[in-house]
Structure formats: C-alpha cells, structure tokens
Structure 1
Amino acid sequence: MKKWLLASLLVAMFLTLAACSSSEETKTEEKDTTATEEQSAETEVAGEQSPAYPMTVSSTVASSESEESGTVNFEDVTFDKMPEKIAVFDYGFLDTLDALGVEGIVGVAKDSNLPSHLQAYSADEYKSIGNLKEPLLEDIAEMAPDVIFISGRQSAFYEELKEIAPVVFVGTSQDDYWNTFLASVDLAAEMFGKEAEAREYLAKFDAALEEVKTLAGNYDTSLVTMYNEGKLSGFATNSRFGYIYDIYGFKPVTEDIEASSHGSNFGFEAILEFNPQVLFVIDRTAATGGESNIEADMENDIVKKTEAYKNNHIIYLDGPLWYLSGGGLQSELAKIEEILAELK
C-alpha cells in the first residue's frame, strides 16, 4: 500500500513538472513571437524592408552601343546577400542612392565634375574610382566592392570591371529615357530595401509633372538645343532630351532632327527658320569644365529675331545637371523645377 501511494505521488509530481515545462515553453514562444512582431512593426514604421536574397538583378537596358566599344551585352547578376560595399560611376544612380539613404558607398567617379548636390561624395571617406570615361581598375580592385554600378560612358570597360566585382548597368536609354530612369529607381529600391522611400519621393513628381505640362500648354512650339564652345546641336522627340517633349509636354517645332546622343548639328540660321516660341539651351561647355560664353554667343543678331528671344523665352539650362547628372531622383525633379522657375 505504501509502495502504491509512493508511486502515485511520483506520477503526480512528474505530470506537474511536465505541465510547468510546457507552460514555460509556450510563454517563451509567445514572447519570441511578440518580439518578432514588434521588431517587424518597428521596421515597417521606419519605412525599411528586408529585401529577399538571393536576388537576381537585370540591367536597365539589355545592351549598350558606342563607337569606342561597339555593342556590349549586359548579363543578369545574382547576389547572395545585399551588397555592403558599393562603387558607383553613374552620377544619376549615385543621386538616387543618396536620395533613398542607401549606406555602404565606398567609391565614386570623383575625377570628373561631381554635380553640386553630390559634393558630399568628394570627401576623403569616398575613394576615387576614376572619371566617367576611365576607371581606375587597380584602385577599384583594392576596394573589393560587392557591386559596381555603371552607365554608358563605362561600357567599354564592362569585361574588365566584371573581373573585379559584379557589374550592373543602371544608365538610361536614349530611346526610352523616362522609363529606364524609373527602372533604375526600382532597381535601387529593391536591392537595398528602400521601396517605401522610393514611392514617397516619386510622389513628388506627380504634382511637378502636372504643373509643367500645364505650363507647356501655353506654347505652340519649342526647341531643345545644346551649346558646346560656340556650336549648337538640336534634339527631337526620339533623342536624349526628348522627354522635354514626351513627358513635360512641350510641342517640338520640328521632328526633322537626326537622333544622336549629342544631337545633330544645328546652326543659328536653323533656329531662326524654325522660330520656336521657347528655346531650351543646355550648356555642355560648363558641364565639362570649360569657360562658357553661352549668352554672348546665343544672343546674336540672328537669334534676336526669334520669338523666343523677343519674349524672353530662351531658357539656359544648368549644364552639369542636364548633361552629367540626370537620371537620378533629385536631378530629374530639379530639372522640372528649373523649367518651372524660368517660365512661370
């Protein structure tokens, strides 16, 4: 009888201990789940997301073509984890990374003219990877970046750069500038978990584009040109700056301009012949560090006969912004705002 009673007590104690252990495990699981949910909620509030890696990334265009390098085909790149050390040649993409608050940039093309809004990257903490046309391959290799972002000016070095680190082309396409710009923003947001920040920034474009389209409706004809050391080139809708017509809504004075990355040769007499109501002039000389005489050269006796001159609608566009640093969130918004400020 005593043995039976002792056995019963042991069984009861065992069941009690098991129940306590199960209860503690449940509490621990609930605590861990709650902590995870709270951490997730804090992350969402902060606007941060955790990108899904491994991730395969495609370039903004499938290939690039130039006289120097011919046709270069860009491969998709698979990353096992988010890149922590970033080298960036393209100023537009650097602009976007900066706007989104992406960290980890270690090298930029400091040996060319950094746009004014990106001057923070001239600091010593950011190493130089060369200029926009000549990469410092050995210096880049010493940095050991996890990714190198390039655009058209570096296409000739695609194979050499690939031997150092994964290379992603983030440049824009002349034929589809606006959509390839948006594709580069999507790429940055997805790779670095900045989708919320990108949506917030792109929302600023809605109001700005609506305003510039309304403004453009006040004019029947316009012409986009680029000034370079006293010479002019013109741009139509299917060109590098065609988005002024296609996206901003300005009506081209002519479609009969050869498509080219630097525009077709365009004399002052041609401007008078077409006689646009608005004449946009991009100062390439200033963009490349030269001494510009743009206003003195442009406002000659021939151009003074145009409607654009008579109505004070020759719009001198910021050279570094339009020629070098376009294709970024900040620079593309600044372009719209510049035109609004000049024509309002």
Structure 2
Amino acid sequence: MKRKLAFLFIAILVILSACGQQEASQKSSSSSSNKESQEITVKHQLGETKVKKNPEKVVVFDFGSLDTLDTLGVKVTGVPVQNLPKYLEKYKTAESVGGLMEPDFEKINELKPDLIIISGRQQDSYDKFSEIAPTLFMGIDNKRYIESFKENVTTLGNIFGKETQAKEELAKIDDSINGLKEKTSGKNEKALITLTSGGKVTAYGPASRFGLIHDVFGIKPVEENLDADPIHGQNISFEYIAERNPDMMYVIDRDAAVGEGENAKKVMENALVKKTNAYKNEKIVYLDPNYWYLSGGGLVSLTEMIKEVEKGLE
C-alpha cells in the first residue's frame, strides 16, 4: 500500500512539473509573439503610419535616414543605388529600387518590404508607396531643423530597438552644436549661403533648406529678409554678391552632387566675388554636397556639416 502511494505521489509530481513547464513555455512563446507583433504609430508630415517594431525588410529613399540607420547598425534592404552619397557607397550592394525621382515600384513590390522611408523628393508618390508597405515621410522641416531631426532619429531608434544608442548620438550632436554656438556668439561677421548649378547661383536665408547655418548655428545672415524659396533658393547675380559684400560665404556645388563635375569654384571666384571680404579674407567655404545636398538630416551628415561651418570661423 505504501509503495502504491509513493508511486502515485511521484506521478502527481511529474504531471505538475510538466504542466508548469508547458505553461512557462506558452508564456515565453506568447511574450515572444507579442514582442514580434508589437506596433507603434508614427505621426509625420504626410499622416500617421503604423509600423511593426524591428521590421526586417526596409527600403530607404531618404539618405539622411539611411545615414542614421547605418550609424545605429540597422540592416537596409533596398536603396536608390545610383544616387548614393560617396560616404554611403557600401549600400551599392543593396537592392536597387530606382532613382530618387523615379522609384521602381515594380521592384519595390517584389521585395515585399516591411517599411519604406521617403523624404521630399518622393512625397508626391506617398500614396503609391503606402499601397506596398507602411511608409514614413522623414524629411526635415527647415523651419524647425534640429527639432525635426531629433524626432526622426528618436523615431528610428524606437522602431528598431536602438533607443539608448539614438539618445547617445543625439547628445553628441548637442555638444557639437553648443561648441559651435560658443564660437559664433557675439560675432558680427555676416554670411551668404549659395548653391551653384549649371553656372547659375541661388541664395538661401533663414528658414530655408540650408538656413540652419543661421537659425541653429548662430551665424548672422548678410540679408535678414532674403525672399528665398526654401528648396531652390533665390536667383541672384554676382553684382548682388558684390553689393552685399559678405564676410563669409558658404557654397554648395549641386553639379558635383549629381555627377556633373565640380564647378562651384570656377563659377564663384570671378572678378566681382573677388571684391568681397569673404574672398579677400579666404572665408569662402565650399561645403561637401554629399552631406548638404544629398543626405542632410543624418547623424553623420549633420556632424560633418557642423565641422564644415566651423571652417568659416577660423
């Protein structure tokens, strides 16, 4: 009788242990499943998008975001490989998804991405992208450059589980900006921001595409109320430059960015521009178009942009 009771007790223990293991396994499986299926809702300039955490297949058309994802160590599936900035050329081995202005929607659809990231050059096709996969618009708002930049980096950190790293990288950016602003504080030198393209020159002021030089970094503009289109700038003449006589000039070479040769110096350094304080004092800074024209708004690009603007203060 005692032996039967002993066997019965052991049997009950084995059954209870198995049940416990099965319950723990179910909880673990459920937790893992919940983690995989977790979604976040992202508000952006073109609407709201529900995005699964840690999407596996990501197509990126915004090079600022590609820059940030690369820094955070996130794998990217497809990019416009023909338009890549030089410092992101490692992504030439990624899937080609068309050009910045002409996405290959058939190819994108074949890839079955979990997330698509776009910016200003693709915004008119937002609905078409959204039919394929959840799509985020991550262009920079020029009127609140740093705020929107930080929002984008934080969002990407949240989506890919890189929150801590994103915060650390943003703290570095803050330190760099504060260091630059210490150098610009109290300076009365005034700057003109220009872009050269096909022999023509346009100018940019505060709240424009490159206006963070004034708005964020604290460098005074040569003209406070420059009526410039925020994207394309205001057409100006070399007479205009000579009349305004900037103390510093920051120049972006669009031709170099799109592979049509490096022409900015040839265009800018003419007889009229040579009359300016900027030329006489060797304070014409030719900015790297890879960072400024192609991929602004990334962790690496913004860091390099800060360094380049400092050159005009030396």
Report the TM-score when normalising by structure 2: 0.87
Matched to 1:285, the amino acid is D
Q: CA contact under 8 A between 1:288 and 1:320: conserved in structure 2?
A: no
Q: Which runs of 5+ in 1 are unaligned?
A: 1-5, 37-49, 62-73
Q: CA deviation at 1:240?
A: 1.1
Identity of aligned residues (%): 41
- Distance of 1:51 and 1:216 partners within structure 2: 47
Q: CA contact under 8 A between 2:71 and 2:300: conserved in structure 1?
A: yes
Please give the secondary structure, in 2, of the residue aligned with 1:76.
strand
Residue of structure 2 equivalent to 1:156: 124
Matched to 1:243, the amino acid is L
- Distance of 1:188 and 1:90 partners within structure 2: 13
CA 1:18–1:147: 2 relative to 1, 3 Å = same
Residue of structure 1 equivalent to 2:73: 101
- Distance of 1:55 and 1:322 partners within structure 2: 31
- Distance of 1:79 and 1:284 partners within structure 2: 34
Q: CA contact under 8 A between 2:197 and 2:255: conserved in structure 1?
A: yes
- Distance of 2:294 and 2:234 partners within structure 1: 19
- The two structures, once aligned, show a CA RMSD in angstroms of 2.7
Q: CA deviation at 1:129?
A: 0.7
Q: CA deviation at 1:13?
A: 4.7
Q: Which runs of 5+ in 2 are unaligned?
A: 29-34
Q: CA deviation at 1:18?
A: 9.2
- Which string of whole-angstrom CA distances, capped at 9 and with x for unpartnered residues, describes residues 199-252 of structure 1? 121122123112211222344311111111221111111211111111111011
Which structure 2 residues correspond to residues 109-148 of structure 1 after superposition, within 5 A?
Answer: 109-112=80-83, 114-123=84-93, 126-148=94-116
Give 1:53's match in structure 2, choosing from 35, 38, 47.
38
- Distance of 1:130 and 1:176 partners within structure 2: 30
Structure with more of its chain in helix, by fraction: 2
Q: Which structure is larger by alpha-carbon Rg, 1 or 2?
A: 1
Q: CA contact under 8 A between 1:51 and 1:193: conserved in structure 2?
A: no
Which structure 2 residues correspond to residues 259-298 of structure 1 after superposition, within 5 A?
Answer: 259-260=228-229, 261-298=231-268
Residue 284 (structure 2) pairs with residue 314 (structure 1) = yes
Residue 221 (structure 2) pairs with residue 249 (structure 1) = no
Q: CA contact under 8 A between 1:57 and 1:187: conserved in structure 2?
A: yes
Q: CA contact under 8 A between 1:286 and 1:319: conserved in structure 2?
A: yes
Residue of structure 1 equivalent to 2:301: 331
Report the TM-score when normalising by structure 1: 0.80
Q: CA deviation at 1:270?
A: 1.4
Q: CA contact under 8 A between 1:51 and 1:191: conserved in structure 2?
A: no
Residue 33 (structure 2) pairs with residue 84 (structure 1) = no
Please give the secondary structure, in 1, of the residue aligned with 2:78.
strand
Which structure 2 residues correspond to residues 178-257 of structure 1 after superposition, within 5 A?
Answer: 178-217=146-185, 218-257=187-226
Aligned residues: 303
